[in-house]
């Protein structure tokens, strides 16, 4: 927690949390920001901005590549270099959507002895957060978290989590395991909901559950993944450079150039004059060819094949 204190009174504060977010090919060190608030009598004096600048410096010094946060006040955070980026979807499912779908697994409530199975299943996800045992225990112990597990022949085959504090009401925001059994868990959550329906948080990339829900033609709503900011250019360039070079056979680098950034692929480079464009280039949701100009069509085609990077942050890991 970073705070501004005057005469023993907290005037403004923000919390930082750290995580390792795994994509298909590499891991990003991510610093999350939450609980940003200023005492009502001291608002309008730039205190929240100063706290956030301090948070950014602390996260950078701690080795974070990226910072993420969630807010309805996007313009305020854009002044600090954050931009809405990445992709996720919310799919709405009703009880009647599951008519005719067999469900022959057993469903049980989460208990601490199930934690090793949840860890085993989560760590099989290509898009995941690398958590400690203590983090799993803390997250699943947050008030209003409901977790259900599917079981077959005394083996846990799937799990799903709904609710978290005051957030994710009637939203299944973490899940994993066998797809058929996941549908059973979602149906059970929908049965318990007073509204008779739930929403399911999904990554933009293709997974067996995403593929199945699309086939069911359930209504989906696009959302940005988060407000994001690159805070360690060298770290991001190194991680992403290896990823792009392996796919294109060309060296990829991002370098600071004056007040902007130089994006290089092979012998070609372009300059981005806004750090927020860099986030959108790397994490979308749009294809690079709609974000940058100046590359040849051949290079833009290569970039479109690499980006956006399929980053996803599960609900348990958000603030």
DSSP annotation of 172 reads E
Tell how far CA 68 is from the center of its chain.
8
pLDDT above 90 for 77: yes
Q: Contact, 157 vs 105, CB < 8 A?
A: yes
CATH classification of 2-83, choosing from 3.30.1300.30, 3.40.50.720, 3.40.80.10, 3.40.630.30?
3.40.630.30
How, if at all, do strands 27-38 and 220-223 pair? unpaired
pLDDT above 90 for 188: yes
The per-residue pLDDT for range 242-255, each reduced to its tens digit, is 889 988 999 999 99
Bridge partners for 198 per DSSP: 93
pTM (2 d.p.): 0.91
pLDDT above 90 for 101: no
Give the whole-angstrom CA distance, residue 319 versus residue 317: 7
Which residues, at least 6 apart from 202, have a Cβ–Cβ distance to it below 8 Å? 88, 89, 90, 91, 209, 210, 213, 220
The per-residue pLDDT for range 27-65, each reduced to its tens digit, is 889 999 999 999 999 999 999 999 999 999 999 999 999
Give the whole-angstrom CA distance, residue 124 versus residue 83: 30
As annotated, the residues of the chain forming the CATH 3.40.630.30 domain(s) are 2-83, 88-223
Class of domain 88-223: alpha beta
């Amino acid at each position: 927690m970073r705070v501004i204190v005057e005469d023993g009174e907290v005037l403004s504060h923000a919390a930082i949390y750290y995580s390792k977010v795994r994509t298909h090919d590499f891991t990003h060190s991510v610093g999350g920001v939450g609980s940003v608030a200023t005492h009502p009598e001291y608002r309008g004096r730039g205190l929240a901005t100063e706290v956030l600048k301090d948070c950014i410096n602390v996260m950078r010094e701690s080795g974070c590549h990226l910072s993420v946060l969630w807010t309805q006040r996007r313009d305020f955070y854009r002044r600090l270099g954050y931009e809405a980026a990445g992709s996720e979807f919310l799919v709405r499912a009703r009880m009647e959507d599951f008519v005719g779908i067999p469900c022959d697994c057993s469903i049980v409530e989460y208990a601490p002895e199930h934690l090793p199975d949840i860890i085993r299943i989560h760590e099989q996800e290509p898009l995941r957060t690398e958590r400690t045992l203590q983090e799993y225990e803390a997250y699943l112990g947050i008030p209003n978290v409901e977790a259900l597990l599917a079981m077959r022949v005394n083996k846990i085959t799937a799990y799903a989590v709904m609710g978290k504090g005051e957030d994710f009401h009637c939203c299944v925001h973490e899940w994993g395991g066998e797809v058929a059994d996941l549908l059973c868990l979602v149906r059970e959550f929908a049965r318990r909901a007073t509204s008779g329906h739930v929403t399911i948080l999904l990554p933009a990339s293709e997974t067996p559950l995403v593929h199945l829900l699309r086939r069911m033609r359930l209504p989906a709503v696009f959302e940005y993944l988060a407000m994001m900011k690159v805070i360690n250019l060298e770290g991001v360039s190194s991680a992403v450079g290896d990823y792009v070079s392996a796919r294109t056979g060309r060296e990829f680098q991002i370098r600071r150039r004056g007040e902007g950034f130089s994006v290089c692929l092979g012998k070609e480079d372009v300059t981005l004059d806004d750090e927020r464009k860099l986030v959108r280039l790397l994490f979308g949701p749009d294809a690079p060819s709609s974000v940058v100009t100046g590359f040849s069509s051949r290079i833009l085609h290569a970039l479109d094949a690499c980006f956006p990077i399929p980053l996803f942050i599960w609900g348990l890991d958000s603030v």
